[in-house]
């Protein structure tokens, strides 16, 4: 375990890795040169798995293609790069990796938000370091969401609704885009990709300010 991942795993207490799915060697070969070698190394060591009791997941990009297509397939971002979903949160936040722009895009579907973070300084030969810094700088708070009283929801959802699987997430029913409220009683365990595709069609997507323009 390198020092960056150790910070994520131990210091930020995302470990242990749970519910690990084996990553076939054919998949490793397919994404070689498209995703950072370090990410493929983490896949080989830990599999596609759950961290922090299901708050954060590394995923098989191929399984999340329908969600990617629904959210950015017809946007300007697909003209900038070829993207792959590399991780997601318990509440459906998707983290993308661009083959030529790195960790330059994420979405928060429950709020209909797209967050670009493009930089002219991205260097392909340093993509492993960028990937490592992403893990090292991650915190549990950034993947949790707050209810209408500004209280974090993940631990409560876990207690009431139970653990998530690779293909499930916590979603609001009715969706916030349809006037639903961010309350624990409105959360359900739902089919993740299907729910995200539905959310993509409920309201206009909001592209937030590029953090590199701030």
Which tens digit of pLDDT belongs to each residue from 113-165?
Answer: 999 987 666 677 789 999 999 999 999 999 999 999 999 999 999 999 999 99
Predicted TM-score of the model (pTM): 0.94
pLDDT at 122: 66
**Orientation of helix 65-72 relative to helix 192-200, angle to 10°:** 10
What's residue 200's pLDDT? Answer: 96
| pLDDT on residue 203 | 85
Helix (H, G, I), strand (E, B) or coil at 12: coil
109 contacts 93 by C-beta, under 8 angstroms:
yes
Kindly state the average pLDDT of the residues 84-97: 98
CA distance linking residue 208 with residue 73, whole number of Å: 17
Name 71's bridge partners. Answer: none
Please give the Cα distance from 213 to 136 (Å, whole number).
23
Q: How far is residue 185's CA from residue 108's CA, in Å, rounded to a whole number?
A: 20
pLDDT tens, residue by residue, 32-82 = 999 999 999 999 999 999 999 999 999 999 999 999 999 999 898 998 899
Alpha helices in the chain (DSSP H): 3-6, 25-31, 37-46, 65-72, 77-80, 127-137, 140-143, 154-161, 192-200
């Amino acid at each position: 375990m390198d020092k960056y991942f150790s910070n994520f795993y131990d210091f930020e207490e995302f470990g242990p890795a749970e519910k690990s799915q084996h990553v076939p060697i054919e998949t490793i070969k397919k994404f070689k040169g498209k995703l950072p070698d370090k990410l493929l190394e983490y896949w080989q060591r830990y599999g596609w798995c759950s961290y922090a009791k299901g708050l954060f997941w590394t995923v098989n990009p191929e399984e999340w293609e329908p969600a990617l297509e629904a959210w950015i397939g017809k946007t300007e971002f697909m003209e900038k790069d070829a993207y792959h979903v590399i991780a997601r949160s318990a509440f459906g936040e998707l983290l993308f990796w661009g083959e030529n722009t790195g960790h330059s895009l994420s979405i928060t579907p429950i709020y209909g938000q797209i967050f670009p973070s493009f930089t002219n300084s991205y260097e392909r030969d340093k993509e492993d370091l960028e990937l490592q810094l992403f893990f090292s700088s991650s915190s549990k708070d950034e993947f949790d969401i707050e209810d209408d009283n500004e209280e974090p929801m993940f631990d409560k959802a876990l207690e009431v609704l139970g653990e998530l699987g690779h293909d499930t997430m916590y979603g609001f029913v009715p969706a916030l885009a349809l006037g639903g409220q961010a309350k624990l009683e409105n959360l359900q365990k739902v089919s993740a990709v299907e729910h995200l595709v539905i959310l993509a069609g409920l309201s206009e997507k909001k592209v937030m300010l590029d953090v590199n323009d701030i």
